[in-house]
Amino acid sequence: MSDKIAAFKLALGNYPTGVTVVTACNDKNEPIGLTVNSFASVSIDPLLILWSLDKKSQLHPYFTATQKFAVNILASNQEHLCTLFSSKIPDRFAQVKWSTSIHDLPILHDTAAILQCKTFQQIDAGDHTVFIGQVLEIDATQIEPLLYHRRHIGQIPKSFYE
């Protein structure tokens, strides 16, 4: 690995992010989803968010074909969902509580927030595709989010609030 790539990974690995599971339906109308921490807000007018996906992901063709998706922002006690949706287990949804939303999207239960989006734009970005979504529906709570930092998953430390 080159020194620049190692430094890049070190720098960004030290930047804490939230943890999400992005969900949609495949071409057979079956739920699909994967863990994503490359998630950010883009715009207030219109309401836009973004996330990115490696082009080598087995789910990449489905997400590039879909016109809508949901971003499930995981709660601090949902580390098991982060692990499950980052695995290669075939039927992940059989192991979780979920339902179909008013926008016909699979949404996970008891998350910190859910943003249901229509695809606004897809951008080719090196070995990833950046998905920009226009937010159609928001379900937000005061539940603490799950965080990812230095290859560790957990909640916001209590000392942060003191």
Per-position DSSP letters for 116-138, written without gaps between them: EEEEEEEEEETTEEEEEEEEEEE
SS3 4: helix
pLDDT value, residue 162 = 56
CATH superfamily of 3-151: Electron Transport, Fmn-binding Protein; Chain A (2.30.110.10)
pLDDT value, residue 119 = 98
pLDDT value, residue 158 = 62
Of 7 and 24, the structure prediction assigns the larger pLDDT to: 24
Instruction: Find the distance separating the first CA and the last CA of the chain, reported in whole Å.
Output: 40
pLDDT value, residue 121 = 98
pLDDT for residue 15 is more than 70: no
DSSP state of 96: S
Q: How far is CA 12 from the centre of its chain?
A: 17
Q: pLDDT digit string (tens) for 37-90?
A: 899 999 999 999 999 999 999 999 999 999 999 999 999 999 999 999 999 888
Where are the chain's structural domains?
A: 3-151
Of 21 and 155, the structure prediction assigns the larger pLDDT to: 21
At residue 149 the predicted structure's pLDDT band, cuts being 50, 70 and 90, is low
At residue 147 the predicted structure's pLDDT band, cuts being 50, 70 and 90, is confident
Dist CA 98 CA 124 (whole Å): 31
- C-beta of residue 83 within 8 angstroms of C-beta of residue 92: no
Q: pLDDT digit string (tens) for 21-52?
A: 999 999 999 999 999 989 999 999 999 999 99
At residue 155 the predicted structure's pLDDT band, cuts being 50, 70 and 90, is confident
pTM of structure: 0.91
pLDDT for residue 14 is more than 80: no
* Mean pLDDT confidence for 130-147: 95
For Cα atoms 8, 11, 17, give the angle at the middle one, nearest 5 degrees: 115
What tokens were used for 3?
């020194």
Residue with tokens 């926008």: 103
- C-beta of residue 6 within 8 angstroms of C-beta of residue 133: no
Pairing of strands 146-149, 152-155: antiparallel
